[in-house]
Amino acid sequence: MGLNFNGMVKNYAFVFTGQGSQWVGMGKKIYENNENFKRIFDRCEEILNFPLKKLCFEGPIEVLTKTIYAQPAILSFSIGIFEIIKEKIKEKPLCAFGHSLGEFTALYAAKVLSLEDVLEIVKERGKLMNEAGEKFPGSMAALIGIDKEEVEEIIRKKGFKFCVIANYNSPSQIVISGKKEEVDEVTKEIKEKKKGKVIPLAVSAAFHSPLMDEAAEIFSKYIINKNFKKPDFPIIQNATGSAEKEPEIIKRNIMKQLNSPVLFTKCVEKARELGVKKFIEIGPKEILTKLIKETIKEAEVFYIKEEDVF
């Protein structure tokens, strides 16, 4: 079911996808058919100072998938879509949030960060996370249908220091992250128990794990003097699952984000507490609507497709 822009859209939240949603060709049709998107995407490329359009429209995927490029590319795409959609929906959302990288699109949407600042911050974030991946190689694996307490117990019993639950995506899906050998040991034990499903993720770094500690420290120093403004609507933050309106608290929670777990399930539940009935996902691929439905069965979820914005 599509979103009816002609009707009054109320009691909704914007939700923004994160890394992993990139694909070659993303934004090309919209760029060719929508002047507003074209203007914004051109401006994003100018600020980022790398061939954004060529990478998004032509690839190659091996380069587009690199953290240093994927993050600002997904952000630019999502901002372009958001700018079109906000003109169609006159009423403000009750809140906004995202998944990891997606939280930065939410900060832009709520006017916490300017276009220039959010692009520069995410470009630096991608660079630092890319460097961390090269310096401290790691891996990640999605675990579906496996009790999180059981996973925490396996990690605790083995005494692992660098393997953690990185994403709490839904009641039935979590992601572990850390040193490859530790992640492999945990997934091996889970497979031996013949429970649930283990999906290794195609990443070169252990996001949201202690292997990001150094990157998080540098990133915190980088954003400490950045101008975070009061949001137009609450931002639900990954590191805490809380809805925030104070710029300094928002900034402090962003400083924790790189090496803290993504509490996405908690974010969805907090949105429900705020009265959200509809969740509108913006990003290159539909990823979050399924996780939201797994968390709140009665939620109305919508993903904005390319044809919705021509």
As annotated, the active-site residues are: 100, 208
* 3-state per-residue secondary structure call for the chain: CCCCCCCCCCCEEEEECCCCCCCCCCCHHHHHHCHHHHHHHHHHHHHHCCCHHHHHHHCCHHHHCCHHHHHHHHHHHHHHHHHHHHHHCCCCCCEEEECCCHHHHHHHHCCCCCHHHHHHHHHHHHHHHHHHHHHCCCEEEEEECCCHHHHHHHHHHHCCCCEEEEEEEECCEEEEEECHHHHHHHHHHHHHCCCCEEEECCCCCCCCCHHHHHHHHHHHHHHCCCCCCCCCCCEECCCCCCEECCHHHHHHHHHHHCCCCECHHHHHHHHHHCCCCEEEEECCCCCHHHHHHHHCCCCEEEECCHHHCC
